[in-house]
Structure formats: structure tokens, C-alpha cells
Structure 1
Amino acid sequence: MHGLGNDFVVIDARAAAIPAMTPAVARALGDRRTGVGFDQLILLEASGTHDFRVRFFNADGSEAGACGNGSRAVALLHGVPAVVETQGGTLRLEPFDGGARVDMGAPRFDWNAIPLAYPMDTHAMPVGWESLEAPMAVNVGNPHVIFFVDDAEAVELERLGPLIEHDPLFPERVNVNVASLAGPDHLRLRVWERGAGLTRACGTGACATAVAAIRRGLVQSPVRVSLPGGDLVIAWEPGGTILMSGPATESFRGTFDWDAYAAGAAG
């Protein structure tokens, strides 16, 4: 499945148990040459407290707390409204024709909720990496820093993204967003995703960036966020939860030999 070109392998283990997903198996499946290939792997599991549980694995095998585009894909696959458990918190999914609306929960701004290595103002962080300065930090189930620039396309995100992602300031690494203002309710955005690299779209990045822009008084809700893969609509009012709306698509269904990937990962 994919959401605006941000692509996923979805494994549905709600009704039947599967072997344990490990970082090594996720990496093996994520290899676009020798595996299936994906930006994120999504694992659906049974839950004793919610309709079901959703886990997200990046292409490097690390587990993420949330994935906005992936959540829309899950909503479309499930087919009816649901309340689901994730590592980043509870999500409410509502599919519609060709896409879904997801209540992503409330954003968090405290330095230790991002988390950062030490206390600082997350509204305009007193740090910078070359031309990228004074970002805002927001946690929307996973950590994001947002830089507002004149031209998001002009930023060397392929080079600066990994430097910022792995900076010791971010003990759990971080997603890096560069955004430019395109109108009173319109942003252009590029994202370097933690564990996945430069992607065509990032749902949590769109949420975090819209929230940051609203807090700084740059735009008004709802906000259209244009990414290389297409547009999302993000609605948020201070003190409330984030509503994300956008498309999702099922590309194909298939099977694979789990033992072969587990053996390859072990080797």
C-alpha cells in the first residue's frame, strides 16, 4: 500500500499468529533489491484494549511510534472506523472512498517529551545546522524538528537530514522537516524521515509542521500541506487533537517465505 508515494508492506497478524518480527527480518524485507521493499513495514496484531494494535518498522529495522500515511493505509484496509493501539498512543481511524481521516491525538511540546538530551525552549530552539536555524520541536507519536525556510526545495536535505537525525541532541533520533509558506493556509514540505531517509510524503511530518506553523501564526487551520507525493489536509486548534485527511492506495497483495527472510537476516 502507499499514501502519496510513501510505501508500506502491511502484514495482517490479527487472526493468526506469526513469528516474532525482529529488526533484522524487517531490514531484510525492506531491501528493495533482495526483499520486498518499503519505507515502513506495518504489522497488525490483536489487542486486548482496542480494536487492534498497529506497529510500524522503518526500512532500517527500527520501530517507530507512529506513521500518519501508514495509518491511513490501515484505515482503508480495515474498511470501517476503528480505535487502534500504537506505540505512540491511541489513534482513531475513519476510512472514506480512496483515503481516510485519522485523529492523531494531541501534539506534545515539552523538551523531555520530544525527547531532547537537555532542557530548552522547543518553540524556537537555540540551535542550528548551517543555514537551518531555530527549529520548533513537536512530538506527534514520534519526534520532529521543523525548519521554516524561504524555499524548501533549495535545502540540501539529503546531506543535512542525516546529520540532524543523528545529532546527540536527539537521543531517539529525529525526523527533519523543512517547510516554506505558500499561502495563508498552505505549506510546502520536504521530510527526511528517521530510519527511512528522504521520502515522497510523511503524514506525521505534515501534522507536526502544520501544528508548528499554526503555533507561530504563519497559517490558519485547516492547512493544506503539499509534499512531493501530493497533498494532505491537517486541522488543529491549540489544546485539541490533530485531524489528518488524505488518500491511501492498495497496490498489490502477495506472499513470501518467512523462513527464507529469517534465515537471510540471521546470516
Structure 2
Amino acid sequence: MLNNTSADQQHTHFYKYQGAGNDFVLIDNRSLSFQYKDNNIVLQLCDRRFGIGSDGLMLLQGHPEYDFEMLYFNADGKLGSMCGNGGRCIVAFAKHLGIIDSETNFLAVDGPHYAKVSAEGNWVDLQMIDVKDIEKDGSAYVLNTGSPHYVNQVADLKDMDVFSMGKEIRNNPTYKAEGINVNFVEDQGDHLFVRTFERGVEDETYACGTGVTAVALAMAKANEQHGSLKTDITVLGGKLRIEFDYDGKDFSNIFLCGPAELVFEGDVKV
């Protein structure tokens, strides 16, 4: 339970999911019983010492035109932009709740998303938004895959101080106001190794779905790869795959594919 002694506390049932080590608190809020009042509620729930512990929190809410709506909060308590691994986890969650079966169309902050989920409910292929614009910042690539990302190719990523270097880039004069997620990538031949410093969490995470998507697209552009492509990616929390089409100008049919697993569920006072 949270250390919260307010008289108007109520029990809320939650589920903890993880996708390649990117972990989330999920709440079925179709009844709108969870009333978001301020940043502190989400901040407490995501706290790894005094709360449940997660990289973010998601509310699954009803929607008249879609199977459900995804409302995502960063671990700092603020409403966030699109979260790819969160999107995959909430699809697995929707299947667990019986809202969907093998396919879904749901609404997120960056628009509608289509997804496919395995019969076991633990693998999700999530379609991401199309990407047209990739800019350069020195040797790095900057693009938006539902969230803004900075992609820089490096060597010896295993031993790199991702926290310090990512924090410095995220807070430089160019990006400080809006923030940016900072990805470092090392090409290891048959796959890419990626580590990410995430805004909102303000730390390195074990995986970032929109981040690995951005990396796959940026590397395809850098290497002048065209056609229907598949990119295998290793992150600290496991393995992910990006599938997409690239005609040399625009990226389309982008899918973020990977595991999404229920860790535990319980009740908490908020």
C-alpha cells in the first residue's frame, strides 16, 4: 500500500505488465472510477520504493469508436506522448480483460493504432504511425515515432555511460524545453544493440518502444536500405523486432513487435 492516509482513499485494482523490461502499471478505467487529480498520484504509484514501481502508468478507458483508449502517464506523473512498449502491453491487457481477441484498433495520444496479439496473449505486433521527416543534428538523427527521438550511432555501447550522456543531450539548449528521448545504437551485424535515456522517466530504461522504432528507421536511412525491411534489436530487457516499408522517402507499415507479459496484480489505496 502507498503511504497515504487521506480520508478519501479508495482501493484501486491494478495490473503490472512488462515488455522487454519496460514496465507499467495498468488500470482498467472503463468505469472512470480512477480519478486522476494531480501528478503526485501517478508519481507515487510509479515510485519503486514507496509505490508499485514502473516506468509509467496507463489507463484503459472506453471509447465509442474504438475498442478502447490508452491514456499514458510518465513516471514523473505527467501525461506522456506515445509509448510503444506501453501500447503493446495495453493490447495484451485488453485481451486479458476479454475486450479483444486476436486484433484491435485502439486510440492513443498520437492517433489510432492497429495491433495483433498472439493466442497466448504474450506477444504483440503494434502498428506505429508513419514517419516522413528525419532531420540531422550533427551526426545524429532526430525523428518522431509518436514521441521525439535522438539517435546516435556509437561503438562500445555496453560500457558507455548512457545516463550521463543521455541526460546531457536531453537537457541541452536545443531540447531542454520539450525534452527528447536519447538513443544510442551499436550495429552488431545481425542485430542492433540499443540503450535509451527516456524523458519523463529521466533515466535509462530497459527498453523504449518508440525509441527502437526510431533507431531502426534512422539506420535504414543511414545505410540506404529500401523495401520491406525487418530489424532485430537487443535492449537491456530483451529482444524486439521492427518491420517496416521504406521507399527512400517515407516510412510506412511500421510494426513494433515483441513480448508483453503480466507480472502481477493487486490492490492499492489511492
Q: Same fold by TM-score, threshold 0.5 exceeded?
A: yes
Report what 2:55 is aligned to: 39
1:100 equivalent to 2:124? Answer yes
Partners of 2:62 and 2:25 in 1: CA distance: 18
Q: CA RMSD in A?
A: 1.7
Q: What's the TM-score, normalizing by structure 2? A: 0.83
Report what 1:159 is aligned to: 164
Show the 5 A alignment for 1:97-136.
Answer: 97=120, 98-109=122-133, 122=135, 124-126=136-138, 134-136=139-141
User: Bigger relative contact order, structure 1 or 2, given CA contacts below 8 A and separation 6+?
Assistant: 2
Q: CA deviation at 1:200?
A: 0.9
Q: Is the 8 A contact 1:55 1:65 kept in 2?
A: no
- Counterpart residue type for residue 117 of structure 2: P
Show the 5 A alignment for 1:9-88.
Answer: 9-79=25-95, 80=101, 81-88=103-110
Unaligned runs of 5+ in 1: 111-121, 127-133, 259-267
1:228 equivalent to 2:236? Answer yes
Deviations 1:61-108 (A, max 9, x none): 122221111111111111222111111222112111321110012125
Deviations 1:188-236 (A, max 9, x none): 1001111111111111111010010011117672000110111101011
Q: CA deviation at 1:16?
A: 4.2
- Does the C-alpha gap of structure 1 residues 235 and 42 become closer, same or farther in structure 2, counting only changes over 3 Å? same
Report what 2:206 is aligned to: 200
Unaligned runs of 5+ in 2: 1-16, 96-100
Deviations 1:11-51 (A, max 9, x none): 11023432125322111111111111111111111223322
Structure with the largest fraction of strand: 2
Q: Is the 8 A contact 1:12 1:45 kept in 2?
A: yes
Aligned residues: 238
Partners of 1:168 and 1:88 in 2: CA distance: 26
Q: SS of the residue aligned with 2:216?
A: helix
1:254 equivalent to 2:262? Answer no
Report what 2:221 is aligned to: 215
- Does the C-alpha gap of structure 1 residues 140 and 88 become closer, same or farther in structure 2, counting only changes over 3 Å? same
